[in-house]
Homo-oligomer: A and B are copies of this chain.
Amino acid sequence: MGAPLPRDPIADAQRNWEERGWSDVAAPMAAITAIMRTQQILLARIESILKPFGLTFARYELLALLSFARSGALPMNKASALLQVHPTSVTNAVDRLERAGLVARSPHPTDGRTTLIELTAEGRTVAKRATAVLNSEVFGQSGFDPADVDQLIRILGSFRRNAGDFTG
């Protein structure tokens, strides 16, 4: 977006917090703000990698999820739950993926309320290729030290559990 700043703006914010007498919450504020910014950076990287495939991260996540489903199909509400996004976001993603010919909607055999999303052959191919590039270009060059990756998984996993994402 722009040239690197001469100073870390989040560290500056943390100092500002401390100077105002909010030392007790300055560090968590900095950590949370850093998570926000890191997500933004990672998302931009991922989207730039997926752009040639005509995918966004939201659509890729859905494709990837379907590719791991035994039957290659999932009910919309299941996808919504597993991806932890609002049902309308799934509707949106499926609309676009369907128009691109990567997934297809089909009625649930026994529950008339439910719609199944199924990968098409092309969808499976695109998912595979996109994953390969993502693995080599993003996940394989995450910029995180291996030990730090473990720390992140542990810390954020604990946070997500406490936030009510899962119970396991």
Which A residues are closer than 8 A to B by beta carbons? 1-2, 4-11, 13-14, 16, 22, 24-25, 27-32, 34-43, 57, 64, 68, 80-86, 135-136, 138-140, 142-146, 148-153, 155-168
Contacts and interface: CB of A to CB of B under 8 A. Distances in A.
Given A157-B34, A159-B38, A168 B5 contact: yes
| Residue of A41, A82, A152, A167 contacting most chain B CB atoms (<10 Å) | A152
Nearest to A45: B163
B31 A165 contact: no
Number of copies: 2
Given A8-B165, A157-B11, A159-B144, A138 B32 contact: yes
Given A36-B42, A168-B7, A24 B140 contact: yes
